[in-house]
Structure 1
């Protein structure tokens, strides 16, 4: 089965070997307070920074999912409110979740075919955290580096947090332009679900220590204190951390991966533009995602495409949120090789050209 679902998506085939090695090395029953895990954690942190171009003074943390990161950040970095900028379901969910913790949280919704309207944002001085999704998995849009830079320059005194779940480990993100970046590993990392990676700037940690929130098992200050010794507040997903270590060791630097995905995304967009029965959901090329391609058609055709593809051992992604019934999505993640996309193209040319 060729898996183009945008998460959980295809894992790197080497994971099979990594799993056997993890068993043979005793990773699955290693004490998480022991030296073996500490050395593993230290090695992963070093590799993440080196391979993903993360600033050396940023702190790396492990959580269970990007959704848990939403919770950690709202609990530990806000006493009053956050501000959420979104154009799709996952950014909106983060906003809605924040409101449950801090009812004063505010949001600004913009259209999927427009760039984030930085100049229009009315963010009050008592806002403690600005939140947005760099790559909106639900509709296949992205916020580019220049927009993030403009946001950073306009609101320099406010912490900025970025959900990069469908782009971290796939795109060469300019992490220095925001304080917090996080992602689950079941997408561009090419690993099984159950682990998230979060990178935090020194300014973020300073703010967390000033607020000093310690009410939850994954409050940011205790997480920071534990990671000073490369440990976690809880028993972590040691197996996935080991898989992350091995994956990073075997993958090229992020700059090369970014270029490959960028070229392949352009090729896929060009390919699908030739079909009259489908159209690209995101019409504005400037805001199209490089890692999630979303195609729109009538509901009957969308259902037919997904069923027919599955019959030919091709798993396409369902639509999501408001676009659940009239779109399908195709992941452009590093673990999926070029020949698999050629097989996907042959399928569409045979049945829908």
Structure 2
């Protein structure tokens, strides 16, 4: 029996990836170097496809990195002198703040409550903040920031760059790119690909600010990355296979408006069905819940039981994370998951939910 992964990353890979991997092998591209005309053509086409399918502004730059965590470092090293302020309510947003402090120390943050909407007026953002860092979808607790909340921060702090971790939402939910200057995400979630690559999307302002600061001592500094990407190249030998697979998947999937509508509708249905089955969402407010990751609250014994029984039935559920590690299990709602798979999982959870009551 094949196990269907509903883990919130790495998660289910599109089944077409198997065919695309064979195509990549047969093409000979995997034996080409990353300065070759063949790679340059692949890189250029993939960037254009990303802009087309995700509705990314034409004047924004797109870079290939190894992971979202590397993007934290790219930003820390490229804006070394910039004071960064981090707004977070979960484990990954806090990790980003702590990582920035390790690199430079010129950072602070403000935590907001998971069960209440981010109060923009209650934020005390230091005047010297040049980089405001947000986590659009907090994977650890299944909360998300709405586009209008990001827009308000952007409107009130016009001089600062807005950096957004969209690891669990990019490729699945429609994002308002103009509300942020730097967006980044790994591909093992909504892009339905194996782990090992991430994307970073930057506004012209983000590039200009990096040029002003002139921090170019690292191979993955934004200045060096921007210089190479002008020729559709990377600063180091990239994951050519992942770029090839992303290219083919982008040709296969619908545009982001269609995907976003599907995932939001399905998330609403999943939350409703789970509630009727006796399960409780960690996040009470429907407005605060993420559409791509569902965190379900239960006793530690129930969490262990459900996960073990799910695995026997052919479903891999996500562990809880951080503060909620022992009292939640998480369910991915990504584009690679089919409606049939979701219905099968919900049927299983309804049956098991009766046993837990």
The TM tier, using the shorter chain, reads over 0.9
- Structure 1 contact 2–314 (Cα < 8 Å) conserved: yes
The separation in 2 between residues aligned to 1:131 and 1:92, in whole angstroms, is 10
Q: Does 1:329 align with 2:324?
A: no
- Structure 1 contact 142–289 (Cα < 8 Å) conserved: yes
Match of 2:235 in 1: 233
The CA RMSD over aligned residues, in Å, is: 0.8
The separation in 2 between residues aligned to 1:158 and 1:52, in whole angstroms, is 25
- Structure 1 contact 81–102 (Cα < 8 Å) conserved: no
- Structure 2 contact 85–126 (Cα < 8 Å) conserved: no
Aligned to 1:72, what secondary structure does the other structure show? helix
Aligned to 2:335, what secondary structure does the other structure show? coil
Runs of 5+ consecutive residues of structure 1 not aligned to the other structure: none
The separation in 2 between residues aligned to 1:329 and 1:141, in whole angstroms, is 12
The separation in 2 between residues aligned to 1:3 and 1:104, in whole angstroms, is 39
Aligned to 2:45, what secondary structure does the other structure show? helix
1:244-323 paired onto structure 2 within 5 Å: 244-276=246-278, 278-323=279-324
Check 1:172–1:80 CA distance in 2 against 1; reply closer, same or farther (3 A cut).
closer
TM-fit CA distance, 1:245: 0.4
The separation in 1 between residues aligned to 2:274 and 2:237, in whole angstroms, is 45
- Structure 1 contact 63–69 (Cα < 8 Å) conserved: yes
TM-fit CA distance, 1:113: 1.1
Match of 1:71 in 2: 73
Q: Does 1:51 align with 2:53?
A: yes
Aligned to 1:283, what secondary structure does the other structure show? coil
Aligned to 2:276, what secondary structure does the other structure show? coil
The separation in 2 between residues aligned to 1:216 and 1:67, in whole angstroms, is 16
TM-fit CA distance, 1:116: 1.9
The separation in 2 between residues aligned to 1:146 and 1:127, in whole angstroms, is 21
- Structure 1 contact 78–129 (Cα < 8 Å) conserved: no
The separation in 1 between residues aligned to 2:190 and 2:157, in whole angstroms, is 29
- Structure 2 contact 174–257 (Cα < 8 Å) conserved: yes
Match of 2:146 in 1: 144
The separation in 2 between residues aligned to 1:6 and 1:162, in whole angstroms, is 19
Match of 1:156 in 2: 158
TM-fit CA distance, 1:81: 1.9
Match of 1:42 in 2: 44
Q: TM-score, normalised by structure 1?
A: 0.98
Match of 1:347 in 2: 348
Query: Aligned to 2:88, which of 86, 98, 101?
Result: 86
- Structure 1 contact 80–102 (Cα < 8 Å) conserved: no
1:4-23 paired onto structure 2 within 5 Å: 4-23=6-25
TM-fit CA distance, 1:125: 2.5
TM-fit CA distance, 1:80: 4.1
TM-fit CA distance, 1:74: 1.5
Match of 1:118 in 2: 120
The separation in 2 between residues aligned to 1:128 and 1:143, in whole angstroms, is 20
TM-fit CA distance, 1:204: 0.4
Q: Does 1:171 align with 2:173?
A: yes
The separation in 2 between residues aligned to 1:74 and 1:56, in whole angstroms, is 25
- Structure 2 contact 82–131 (Cα < 8 Å) conserved: no
List structure 1 segments (4+ residues) > 6 angstroms apart after TM superposition: none
* Residues 160-182 of structure 1: per-residue CA shift (max 9 Å, x gap): 00000000000110011110111
